[in-house]
Amino acid sequence: MAKYLIVGLGNIGSDYTGTRHNIGFDVVDALAKKHEEVFRLDRLAEIAEIRWKGKILICIKPTTFMNLSGKAVKYWMDKEKTPLENVLVIVDELALPLSKFRLRPGGSAAGHNGLRSIEEVLGTNGYPRLRFGIGNNFPKGRQVDFVLGRWSENELPLVRMKVEKSVELIESFATSGIERTMNQYNNLDFTL
């Protein structure tokens, strides 16, 4: 059975729960819940294993904090013998509006510390990632507060809709491949 490593990026601890920066955790939580799996604490990450349609999805939420995510990704890639093209990292993205997400087979870290850590540890930026648009609606100099802030009440319905669609996208990535999945999902525009 083909194995996939599905990595939700975020920070551990209740201070970060429900924040924009933790959307990666929220997406893999929704994926595990849909497949009736629960996360357990293991080395460098919380992990849930989903067996579905002849695939094994190893879902992780690194417990290393965002800036050291690469350590957890490398450990679980090696442990599960997952090829780079079967890794999918879910991450928050300031450069995309809340109405969008974007699947890519690789690319720059674009200032994201979690992606930068993964790139440094793996020695490549050629791993698939799902950039979950969070928008950039913050005053100058308040980027950190915005990213580490919680969703507003009027954003939440759209966020929940995108999380559900992200789960579908991950399933498509594992069953149909990245090219077909990009063609199907990258041009979606989410509105209520």
Q: How confident is the model at residue 137 (pLDDT cuts 50, 70, 90)?
A: confident
Mean pLDDT of 6-23: 96
Q: How confident is the model at residue 71 (pLDDT cuts 50, 70, 90)?
A: very high
Q: How far is 43 from 132, CA to CA, in rounded Å?
A: 26
Q: How far is 99 from 182, CA to CA, in rounded Å?
A: 16
Q: What percent of the chain has pLDDT over 90?
A: 95
What's the token pair of residue 12?
Answer: 């551990």
Per residue in 21-57, pLDDT (tens digit) is 999 999 999 999 999 999 999 999 999 999 999 999 9
Catalytic positions, written as ranges: 21
Q: How far is 15 from 114, CA to CA, in rounded Å?
A: 18
Cβ pair 58, 39 in contact under 8 A: no
Fold of 2-185: Rossmann fold (3.40.50)
Q: Specify the amino acid at residue 6.
A: I
Per residue in 86-112, pLDDT (tens digit) is 999 999 999 999 999 999 999 999 999
Mean pLDDT of 74-90: 98
Average pLDDT, the chain: 96
Q: Where are the domains of the chain?
A: 2-185
Q: How far is 51 from 103, CA to CA, in rounded Å?
A: 23
